[in-house]
Amino acid sequence: MTEKARTRFAPSPTGKPHIGNIRTAIYSYLLARHTGGQFILRIEDTDRKRFDEEALQAIMDGLRWIGIEWDEGPEVGGPYAPYFQSERLDIYKQHAEELIAKDAAYYAYEKPRTEEERQSMEKNPQLSLSFSRQWREATEEQRKAAEAEGIKPVVRFKVPLEGTTTVPDIIVKPPVVQNSTIPDHILIKSDGFPTYHLAAMVDDHLMNVTHIMRGQEWLSTAPLHVMIYQAFGWQMPMLVHPPVILNPPGKAGKLSKREGAVYVGQFRDLGYLPEALLNYLVLLGWSYDDHTEIFSMQDLIEKFDVTRIQPTPARYSLDKLDWTNAFYINHILTQEDFARRCLPFLAEAGLITQAEAVNPGDKMPYISKVCGLIKDKVKILSEVPAEIDFMFKPANELEYEADLVVGKNESKEAAAKILEAAIASLEKLPQEQFTTLNIKENLEKLSDEMLGEKKRGLLFWPVRIALCGRKNSPDASAMIEAYGMEGTRERYNIAIAKLRA
RNA sequence: GGCGCAUUCGUCUAGCGGCCUAGGACGCAUCCCUCUCAAGGAUGAGACCACGGGUUCGAAUCCCGUAUGCGCUACCA
């Protein structure tokens, strides 16, 4: 493990990046960084029918957002360019020919299976095997005849009929399979494009990849890949097959779209912090020790050990993710940083303008203070606007019933008197002493004098409600500080008027 | 159906033959703090280590079966 690992993430741009794949990418990245090696991004766009330009962008955005930078790949280049498989067609063709010359592959002229055939063959491996081998022993004449008919051939791999193949995986017990059970897979499709099996192996070898890491759904076809390497006479890299991520408890199968957010972009939009998602995802199937829960990217790079990846599929749990995100917001982020990240969400909710979200200017101190009020209670950023929207409204736009302000006080008049007393008491605080702590002391003292000790709820309830117009809110003293004496007095006077109406 | 992998609290996990009457975290419950909601602090419930056989003085840890889950079984990746 002291050797420098070259790893790669090789997505096919056919859809948005799923967190299961992103987690695999993270593991690959960490392995490379931990050992001081390189991390490559390679785009497997050999399926022309399913290619999606937006997906490609989303993959790159997602990786960068979560903190992964690739050393080689799209937009950054590298010594093994190009990193798009569609631009490497000649290379694959050449290698396929090499295999044919070595009698390890051959042309096959069969008709593609129909959907029905495919399904029936799924249940009957023997049929599938013989179908794949129809042209394995074809004579020159047969090939010529097919060629004359104008059939475009595929190239199939000539799987050894004898012996066994072992998959050198480092997190799962290395599977051993009988070669005779593996069909002659297609290497080059009739349209001239390579399949994953050929393209990925050729590239992994050419790009000097030392650890092929990919989802466990590849484990079954891994023996084929080992045989391809052997046929070329190349040295086999290590294989790493992290498990898939499963649906939450009670739900069967792989984590699916139906379970809410599954794509990185969705988490971003919901207001999950990239460092929290990263932290959560890494721990879903990997652990450092028996107690550490919070890891920065630096920690992870330092401590990551591939062999500790769990071989068992883990279930996705929103609760733990939420906890992790809340922990980052509450304990890792500074108030300023937190506020900055809230900006787009505040704009989205119409609390500030889009321009202010980009450049808040002198509004920032207030925004920062206001966001700070709920830093310890919010789980995701998208919850922020609803918690503090009232702090962005003019005082006279607060809508609430006078009864709400009364709370457990005897009467509306009693509540009004409390607010009057609060104004008078707070006005004694000099401007430079108008801090949350002083305000709190000031009001507590007032409460004790007015209502006696242990009755603080009677005073604080109206004092707080008159500021926000609703049941739940941040701490009263903190809100008063944020509004300032001016804003506080204005809101109290409105409340008093309401109470006496 | 075939092949392969996996199996510790509801969930994520620690554990690599004696430290385990199984530890931590999330969630849950109760209590404390308290001007509300949170946060924070404390305590607790929760796992016969899937089941059945071995091996061993001794097994969650090693071996073999069974069950269950997951994956693959495409001219998709």
Which secondary structure element, helix H or strand E, spans residue A24, and what is its range? helix A19-34
E strand segments, A175-277: 176-178, 186-188, 211-213, 238-240, 245-246
Cα–Cα distances in angstroms (integers) from residue A59 to residues A9, A50, A99, A197, A278, in the given order = 11, 15, 33, 22, 15
Cα distance between residue A80 and residue A98, in whole Å: 20
A44 sits within 7 Å of strand B by its CB: yes
pLDDT digits 0-9 by tens, A451-494: 887 789 999 999 999 999 999 999 999 999 999 999 999 999 99
Point out the residue nearest to B14 (C-alpha to C1'). Answer: A290
Using C1' positions and the CA of A108, the closest nucleotide is: B75
Packing angle between helix A19-34 and helix A274-283, nearest 10 degrees?
90
pLDDT digits (tens, 9 = 90+) for A141-171: 999 999 999 999 999 999 999 999 999 999 9
- Positions 69-98 of A with beta carbon below 7 A from strand B are none
What pLDDT score was predicted for residue A1? 45
> How do residues A163-211 score in pLDDT, each as one tens digit?
999 999 999 999 999 999 999 999 999 999 999 999 999 999 999 999 9
Residues 232-251 of A with CB under 7 A from strand B: 243-244, 246, 249
Encode pLDDT of A337-372 as tens digits: 999 999 999 999 999 999 999 999 999 999 999 999
Instruction: Output the average pLDDT for chain A.
Output: 95
- pLDDT given for residue A259 in this prediction: 76
What distance in Å separates the CA atoms of residue A239 and residue A174, rounded to the nearest whole number? Answer: 9
